[in-house]
Chains A and B, each alone.
Chain A
Amino acid sequence: MADLESQLLQALNEKECIADSGDFAKSQGVDHMAVVGVIRSLQASEMIVAEDIDHFRYALTEESQTYLTAGSPEAQVFAAVGADGISLAELKVKVPGEAGDVGFKQAMQQKWLALDKSAGEPRVVRKVDSIVDSTQALLADIAAGKEVPKADAENLAKKRKLIKPEQWKTYKLSKGPKFALERKKPATDLTFDMLAKGTWRTQEFKDYNFNALGVLPAGGHLHPLLKVRTQFRKIFTQMGFEEMPTNQYVESSFWNFDALFQPQQHPARDAHDTFFLTKPAATPSDRGVPADYLQRVQSVHEVGGYGSAGYGYSWKLAEAEKNLLRTHTTAVSSRMLYRLANQPGGFKPAKYFSIDRVFRNEAVDRTHLAEFHQVEGLVCDRGLTLGDLIGVLQQFFSRLGLKKLRFKPAFNPYTEPSMEIFSYSEQLGKWMEVGNSGMFRPEMLRPMGLPEDVNVIAWGLSLERPTMILYGIDNIRDLFGHKVSLSMVRRNPICRLGL
């Protein structure tokens, strides 16, 4: 190639002009396409100028190549018929296939042959004694590159399809503005070699394509939901909250429901909402729950106490022992609060948070998964008020960028007062529910042994919903689960919550 390029430049330098690149290719004994490659490359570098020369000719088809020696189909048929004539069937054997059919038709048209039906079975007989095979002669002329009359050529090309038109280009070449005998190739990159040899000083550099994107770095990526989780963790710890050990998905109904004063007939305790376990099916009440506490919980459900009327039903131990996949991380909160009330040295104020999975026995769809992450915060101290809850919520949500809040009365079995948290979305122009909150009921706290003046304020929200809003995901299955697209994981920005 380089050799061909320098031959071409050399020839151009000597003659100022190459009249036809086709002839040049022949003179070099190479295929014309190889020369075209060199021309294109030199043209791009403005070293030569090329003008198109259009060529046209007819060429024989594969089939008509054979007629050069065997004669045209009509001549073949005429020969086969012989002086005595022949039956059609015999003719088909002697000149088989397409050539036989076409040849017979042509020979009949030229009135070389006739059909004699006088003896019953029709026979093909000669009408003339000899013929001139002009078709073969034309084909021979075309094959030799000779001019043939236009009408004959068109007849052979269009009607008989024995020849086909061929078009191609060659080029007339002359020197371009940057003509030189040897090409200076512009470099695409600065290399170690150039630095070592100092050739970078004279080296021409190819223009860089500034319209394209660069090469993405080959690194790993963090999952967007967990990026958001990281920011929530920072906000909580910065606000002085301590993380609860929530690494325990299997929970007893006691800690998940009963300890929270959630009655045993509550709809949430239905198999429709909660995953109950067949293995391990139950937590024996003598494991983990002190008998006196268990007794107090049973009593507050059945007949009340601590100022409460209770629910007035027959509380069943077996129901409390049933194991389940926790429906909320509040199951862990109840364990932590019990621990806080009963720790050595007595009660101390605490601020707890957790972000972990919870499970609901729901059918999976665009907005529901059977497992999702619950974000939970709680403050446990003496003399806390509903005003404190609103205050801490405003502090927390303003860190999330949600500064305009309002609160709606709500119902929750284990909090009273209870508040749904709404935030005004400037983008959507409406109030949106962003979480749930409340003060834990005395029927939950007092049986644990927390002092009378200790209140607990708490709130919760899902991690998935804010993440979906932040990252513009409208189907929760595109965020969490094995069907998540890896390109979604790879291509998302840092989470700026808490900035």
Chain B
Amino acid sequence: MPTVGVNRDKLFEKLGKVYTDEEFDHLCFEYGIELDDVTSEKEMLRKELASAMAKGGDNKLAAEAAAASEEVIYKIDIPANRYDMLCVEGIARALNIFRGTQAAPEYRLADMSGKPLQQMTVKPETSLVRPFVVCAVLRGVAFDAARYNSFIDLQDKLHQNLCRQRTLVAIGTHDLAKIQGPFTYEALPPEDIRFVPLKQTREFNAKELMQYYLDNDQKLKKFVPIIHSSVVYPVIYDANRTVLSLPPIINGQHSAISLETKDVFIECTATDLTKAKVVLNTVVTMFSEYCSRPFEVEPVEVTDAFGNKTVYPDLSCRRLDLTTTYVNSLLGVSLPGPDIATLLNKMQVSATLGPDGTALSVSVPPTRSDILHACDVAEDVAIAHGYNNIATRIPPTATQGRELPLNQVTELLRSELAMAGFTEVLTWALVSRAENFDQLRRPDDGATAVEIGNPATAEFEVCRSSLLSSALKTLGANKENALPIKLFEVSDAILLDSAVAVGARNERRLVAVYCAKESGFEVVHGLLNRVMEVLGVPYRDEPGASSAPVSYHWAPAADPALFPGRQAAVFASTCGDKPVGVFGIVHPEVLTAFELPYPVSALELNIEPFVFDQFYQSKLEPLSN
């Protein structure tokens, strides 16, 4: 969720009202935005300074903090799909219309009859790297410092969000007085592009410029990879071969806008045309507010690589047809048609009621790209009406409550294990490869554990294919406890399995460990016997077991994680000769690897074969594949 910092007093000026923080918070709540923090530049710098001081001090920052403004800043959280609210202009406009203090503006294109349009021509080579561009002109913009900063901030916010860090769309804004149309959007080898980039005084070629940013510019270097490996770089020229921009990296210094700029040329280059149009519309609808003719935008004709001409921006309203019945039945209200239309006006959406009183023709302005479907319109009605004014109803849906049998058995078994004197732990499914294999002396055959490609935390390399390492880690973290320590967990191990569509499955397991000065092998052995007793599974050699639907037995085994000669595998009669579990004394080298000074015995058991009802009918319900 993007957070926008706005000057409180400037915002209140636009709202024509001074609010207390509480009142403004309440207004935000109703509209669905959130007053996240009340601060000031000074306060923010002070916090930054405090953390810098902790790391050894920063004199420059201290001076900045001392000089910074104490004007109150509201940090406002904006829903991720409301790009039109990423600047103070948009927030104020939305709230004014919501409060009924301002009518929704009509955004329009300037009447260009008899006047030539600015031209942008796309060269076919751009399709190799960044195929789309859309443009517009804002005439007679009255900038002041606050408006100028807001204009820059909005571009930053759009770049971070909708533009996906400039990969999808990049915005370039230029002082039209300094450049000369027609413009061309080209793609050239980087060595052939030469210009003075923004904030630089000398000329670079694009190849050396990329290297310069990689070496020297923390902010810009992260965008370099978007085009770095391309054989040609996108570039926009004017009629005099002046470089406007090298998208999506940097604009030229020559056409840079300033507080004195009156006419602004806006170009958005993109790999996603839909988003480029939304970005352009957002910028022009917000800042046409300051044009000599407010909310009027001068269009630009773009000729694409195939010679097709399109005029941008497209500020037309989209029409959406729905009925008041749909709105009322979705929300569970019975609002009269005219009320619905009025409520929609508060959300910048104009609605016309049909002659039958139920047909609703809705006109979605270019600022509301978030509206995709009638349900979005219905939500706007709900917001304007007030979520908290909607009459509630208990859904009439009559159904039977039911636990998943696997989880029900898990719940029952957990209680039994606690009754047997074992304490429950809850550990992570994500572990390191070493914990899952090497430290357990188990080989990684490459066909056992699910592997993670991009962990933010280095130790999360694989999903655990056994619960044992987690239990041993827990013992290691609790060494100061009085002995014996008896722990258990009933959780899922995750195993590669090509028989499952996604290629892996969970397996519900029980792990129990016993840690004391002596191994306690017979303790975990006894726990296995007790667990089987409560599961109603007889030992194979008990009288009558041969006729039982399921029985179990154990036999000496050779798990490298366990001590030779003091371990056994567990078998269920329903699972053939594939073991369902293992128990034994943990191998001393494993203990060393987990930094455990005392002997440990362990039991790990797959409980899924024992998830059956009282008639021994299996109740496992894997999700359909």
Contact = CB atoms under 8 A, between A and B. Distances in A.
Interface in A320-348: 323, 325, 332, 335-336, 339
B496 A279 contact: yes
Contacts, number: 322
Interface in A390-432: 390-392, 394-395, 406-411, 413, 416-419
Nearest to B423: A221
A148 interface: no
Contact of A419 (B329, B387, B403): B387
A220 B404 contact: no
A350 B400 CA distance: 9
Given A242-B400, A310-B372, A248 B332 contact: no
A387 B331 contact: yes
Contact of B164 (A248, A265, A307, A481): A265
Given A267-B164, A283-B502, A357-B429, A275 B455 contact: yes
B428 interface: yes
A342 to B, nearest CB: 10
Contact of B82 (A411, A441, A479): A411
B547 interface: no
Interface in A357-376: 357, 359, 361-364, 369-371
* A251, A252, A312, A364 interface centre (most CB from chain B within 10 Å): A312
Interface in B341-372: 370, 372
Given A390-B392, A407-B388, A490-B423, A381 B397 contact: yes
A243 interface: yes
Given A237-B403, A307-B373, A417 B622 contact: no
Interface in A220-235: 220-223, 225-226, 230, 233
A184 interface: no
A457 interface: yes
A288 B501 contact: yes
A275 B397 contact: no
Interface in B378-400: 378-379, 382-383, 387-388, 390-400
Contact of A240 (B401, B426, B623): B401
B518 interface: no
B428 A280 contact: no
A99 B494 CA distance: 81
A486 B485 contact: yes
* A272, A394, A457, A484 interface centre (most CB from chain B within 10 Å): A484
A278 B452 CA distance: 6
B502 A385 contact: no
A200 interface: no
A380 B399 CA distance: 11
B418 interface: yes
B113 interface: no
A87 interface: no
Contacts of B411: 230, 233
A343 to B, nearest CB: 10
A220 B419 contact: yes
A87 to B, nearest CB: 63
Given A241-B399, A442-B373, A383 B452 contact: no
Contacts of B258: none
A385 to B, nearest CB: 3
Interface in B453-508: 453-457, 460, 463, 470, 473-474, 476-478, 481, 485-488, 492, 494, 496, 498, 501-506, 508
A306 to B, nearest CB: 8
Interface residues of A, number: 111
Contacts of B31: 409
A280 B502 contact: yes
* B418, B450, B508 interface centre (most CB from chain A within 10 Å): B450
A443 B373 contact: yes
B375 A388 contact: no
Nearest to A221: B423
Contacts of B415: 222
Contact of A271 (B400, B454, B624): B454
A184 to B, nearest CB: 37
A177 interface: no
Contact of B395 (A325, A363, A391): A391
A392 B395 contact: yes
Given A332-B623, A362-B456, A416-B375, A379 B395 contact: yes
A218 interface: yes
B274 A312 contact: yes
Contact of B402 (A243, A357, A379, A380): A243
Nearest to A385: B332
A150 interface: no
A304 B504 contact: no
B218 interface: no
Interface string B109-127: 0000000000000000000
Interface of A: 218-223, 225-226, 230, 233, 236-252, 265, 267, 271-272, 275-283, 287-288, 304, 306-313, 323, 325, 332, 335-336, 339, 349-351, 357, 359, 361-364, 369-371, 379-381, 383-388, 390-392, 394-395, 406-411, 413, 416-419, 439, 441-443, 455, 457, 479-487, 489-490
7 contacts: A240-B398, A247-B622, A308-B372, A309-B372, A390-B387, A406-B387, A485-B478
Interface of B: 1, 29-32, 34, 79-82, 161, 164, 168, 272-275, 318, 322, 329-333, 370, 372-376, 378-379, 382-383, 387-388, 390-404, 406-407, 411, 414-415, 417-430, 446, 449-457, 460, 463, 470, 473-474, 476-478, 481, 485-488, 492, 494, 496, 498, 501-506, 508, 621-625
Q: Return the 5 tightest CB-CB contacts between A and B, nearest first.
A: A280-B503, A387-B332, A409-B32, A385-B332, A411-B79
